[in-house]
Amino acid sequence: MTSDFKPALIVVDLQEDFCPPSGSLAVPGGRNVVAPINKLLELPFALKVATKDWHPPDHISFAANHPGKQPYTDFVTIVNPDNATESYSSRLWPVHCVQGTPGAELLPELDAGKLDEIIEKGTDRRVEMYSPFYDPFTSPRVSDSGLATLLRDRGVTDVYVVGLAGDYCVKSCAEDAAKEGFRTYLIEECTRAVDAGHWPQCKKAIEGSGAKVVSVKSPEVLRLM
Ligand code: VGL
Ligand code: ZN
């Protein structure tokens, strides 16, 4: 492979709580992405990273931490703890991926022995963080996982994104990777959405950020074989 092509694979949040049969925030068909992702892990990526949603029990995104609010239906306004003029509205979720619990484990059928790094995200109780890079605030940023620095330090040029959930963390990962200047590909067969009906709209937003949504049979993937 030429030096102007150093591909990284980012496997987003392939954790028990995002999968049937017992995940608290199970994404329909979530487990079906493991087999094609294990095939990708055989390919000569320069760097293979998995991310884990890794929340403290009092995380702001859990409906249970907001009396009277219901998961999937209610939203809260999240204010930047360091700059009250910045805020965003964010969906509330069932309790999921609490640090150290079985639901936060990577799926056992994932070929985790092939991973080079595991990045934890969503660790600051005060902010939602779908992106494995950083939270949505900018001045100042509240939480940064160090992923952009890791990719740059390793000389990565191209980022391939897969995992769960397509319409939340995978989408944010692809958008931020493109924003950080990496050629970015989201491999469509290797993700599933929380709301499958919103996926076409999500794809447009992802492509609008400069990332490409591709198939496992696309030239962008085949060039790795
Ligand atoms: C995710 C909702 C809440 C994800 C994480 O990994 O897509 N979605 N936390
Ligand atoms: Zn989460």
**Which tokens sit at 113?**
């022995």
| Per-residue confidence (pLDDT) for residue 179, from 0 to 100 | 98
Mean pLDDT for 154-165 is 98
Report ipTM (2 d.p.). 0.99
Site to substitute for ligand 1 among 10, 13, 173, most atoms within 8 A of C-beta: 13
Average pLDDT of the chain? 97
Position 121 confidence tier, pLDDT thresholds 50, 70, 90: very high
Question: For residue 133, how far is its CA from the centre of ligand 2 (angstroms)?
Answer: 14
Question: For residue 53, how far is its CA from the centre of ligand 1 (angstroms)?
Answer: 7
pLDDT of 122-135, one tens digit each? 999 999 999 999 99
Question: For residue 158, how far is its CA from the centre of ligand 1 (angstroms)?
Answer: 23
Mean pLDDT for 139-167 is 97
Q: Which ligand 1 atom lies nearest to the CA of residue 12?
A: 6
The CATH number that domain 7-54+100-223 falls under is: 3.40.50.850
Of the listed ligands, the closest to the CA of 93 is 1
**Can you name the residues that pair with 78 across neighbouring β-strands?**
88
CB 169 within 8 A of CB 12: yes
208 three-class SS: helix
Q: Which ligand 1 atom lies nearest to the CA of residue 61?
A: 3
Alpha helices in the chain (DSSP H): 34-41, 147-153, 169-179, 199-208, 219-222
* pLDDT of residue 1 exceeding 60: no
127 three-class SS: coil
Position 182 confidence tier, pLDDT thresholds 50, 70, 90: very high
In sequence order, the 6+-apart residues with CB closer than 8 A to the CB of 123 are: 54, 55, 56, 99, 143
pLDDT of 29-76, one tens digit each? 999 999 999 999 999 999 999 999 999 999 999 999 999 999 999 999
CB 134 within 8 A of CB 172: no
Cβ < 6 Å from ligand 1: which residues? Answer: 13, 18, 53, 61, 93, 130, 164-165, 168-169
Rounded to 5 degrees, what are φ and ψ at 114?
-90, -5
Query: What residue owns the CA closest to ligand 1's atom 6?
Result: 169
Of 2-11, 90-99, 110-119, where does mean pLDDT reach its minimum?
A: 2-11
Question: For residue 78, how far is its CA from the centre of ligand 2 (angstroms)?
Answer: 14
